[in-house]
Amino acid sequence: MAQLGEFGLIERFFDRPLRDRNVALGIGDDAAIVQVAPGCELVLAVDMMVESRHFLPGADPRSLGHKILAVNLSDMAAMGARPRWALLAGALPAFDESWLDEFTQGLFGLAEAHGVALIGGDTTRGPRNVCLTIAGEVPAGEAIRRAGAKPGDDVWVSGTLGDAMLALAALQGRTVLDDAAMSSARRRLDWPAPRVALGQSLRGIASAMLDVSDGLSGDLAHILDASGVGAIVEVAKVPRSAALNAKLAGAERDVALEWLLAGGDDYELCFTAPPARRDEVIALSNAEIGLSLIGTVTSDAKQLVVLDESGTPLPSVPRAFDHFA
């Protein structure tokens, strides 16, 4: 890559001093070496973001650096794992110092907040995309999977849903928001806050869990498929911002319902837990991240029923985003 060269670029932008004593070897060799804590399993995930598909050309590089790590941290949260190490692969159309500077500010800002060390990667020239692999730890056997929901379990969701898609719709001129609503919805789209601590706190409590990245209805369906159960969810109980609530009550109701139930990019946690654990779940709810009881698991295999505000089942449940649909 131009002036600095590939290795100069890596050294300057990505090779940061590590405080993590479990990293025996970081950036600079053919591979990294880490020591997993005794009694823990390694939990691995990868997520890629491609220009024009996951972000618009000209997107703020700082939020992109944040988001590529955030979506991976959200996968760790969804397993109840503690995120530890990351590998970053990326293609850049050209060496752009200020782009890299801002991208790494966003990336390392969030990495430091979560004690995640960048220990390797791959850098090449090409159409802009970033791909991050995350490694985390979980006490052996305690990871929270999608399979495990039982009939009678409560269905919970953290935070609020739908604002990221509300922001995208507003950015694309499909709806209108006032300035305050726009800036808070845009924060949800560009600066997602993965529920990492909450995910770990739910170990031993949640019977099944995932993060809502493609929209509640489709993602919850994954839990139902994996667990061989069904669920009834009440629209009225699905948490949403005041701005989205206003849309739901108005002329844009149908599309607002899609943003809420099938929008995606929420990065909240959806989980099931036995009613006997309700007090423990409620104790994890706080002013910053509320937890909402939105429904019940049924024995009606793979059936997701969504009730509207009057208790009538929606004739068709809005479906989640699918890149290949």
Residues forming contacts to Mg ion in the complex (CB under 5 A) are 122
CA dist 212 → 54, 242, 256, 317 (Å): 16, 20, 17, 16
The Cα–Cα gap between 277 and 61 comes to 42
CA dist 92 → 127, 130, 131, 133, 232 (Å): 6, 9, 12, 18, 45
Contact with ligand ADP (CB under 6 A): which of 23, 70, 88, 134? 88
Q: Which stretch binds ligand ADP (CB under 6 A): 26-34, 211-219, 239-247, 261-269?
A: 26-34
Q: Which is nearer to ligand ADP, 68 or 118 (CB)?
A: 118
Q: Does residue 102 contact residue 62 with C-beta atoms inside 8 Å?
A: yes
Contact with ligand ADP (CB under 6 A): which of 3, 17, 29, 173? 29
DSSP state of 177: -
Q: Which is nearer to ligand ADP, 61 or 90 (CB)?
A: 90
Q: Is 267 left (phi over 0), alpha (psi -120 to 50) or beta?
A: left
Q: Which two tokens stand for residue 72?
A: 């991976």
Report the partner that residue 317 touches, choosing among ligand ADP, Mg ion, none (CB closer than 5 to 8 A by kind). none
DSSP 92-146: ESS--HHHHHHHHHHHHHHHHHTTPEEEEEEEEESSSEEEEEEEEEEETT----S
- Told to check if 205 binds ligand ADP by CB under 6 A, we report no
Q: Which is nearer to Mg ion, 121 or 136 (CB)?
A: 121
Strand locations in the chain, DSSP E?
A: 23-25, 33-34, 40-50, 82-92, 117-125, 129-139, 154-158, 208-212, 230-234, 268-273, 291-298, 304-307
Question: Shortest approach of ligand ADP to residue 248 CB, angstroms?
Answer: 42
DSSP state of 19: -
Question: Shortest approach of ligand ADP to residue 124 CB, angstroms?
Answer: 8
Q: Which is nearer to Mg ion, 129 or 213 (CB)?
A: 129
Q: Which stretch binds ligand ADP (CB under 6 A): 24-32, 140-148, 161-169, 303-311?
A: 24-32
Report the partner that residue 179 touches, choosing among Mg ion, ligand ADP, none (CB closer than 5 to 8 A by kind). none
Question: Shortest approach of Mg ion to residue 193 CB, angstroms?
Answer: 31
Q: Which is nearer to ligand ADP, 136 or 295 (CB)?
A: 136
Contact with ligand ADP (CB under 6 A): which of 120, 192, 199, 239? 120
Report the partner that residue 120 touches, choosing among ligand ADP, Mg ion, none (CB closer than 5 to 8 A by kind). ligand ADP
Q: Which is nearer to ligand ADP, 87 or 208 (CB)?
A: 87
Question: Shortest approach of Mg ion to residue 122 CB, angstroms?
Answer: 4
Q: Which stretch binds ligand ADP (CB under 6 A): 94-102, 121-129, 195-203, 223-231?
A: 121-129
The upper half-sphere exposure of residue 124, i.e. CA atoms within 13 Å in the direction of its Cβ, equals 7
- Told to check if 112 binds ligand ADP by CB under 6 A, we report no
Edge-to-edge strand ranges of the sheet holding 230-234? 208-212, 268-273, 154-158, 291-298, 230-234, 304-307
DSSP state of 48: E
Contact with ligand ADP (CB under 6 A): which of 121, 239, 263, 264? 121
Q: Which is nearer to ligand ADP, 15 or 142 (CB)?
A: 15
User: Which stretches of the chain bind ligand ADP, using CB under 6 A?
Assistant: 10, 14, 27-30, 88, 90, 118, 120-123
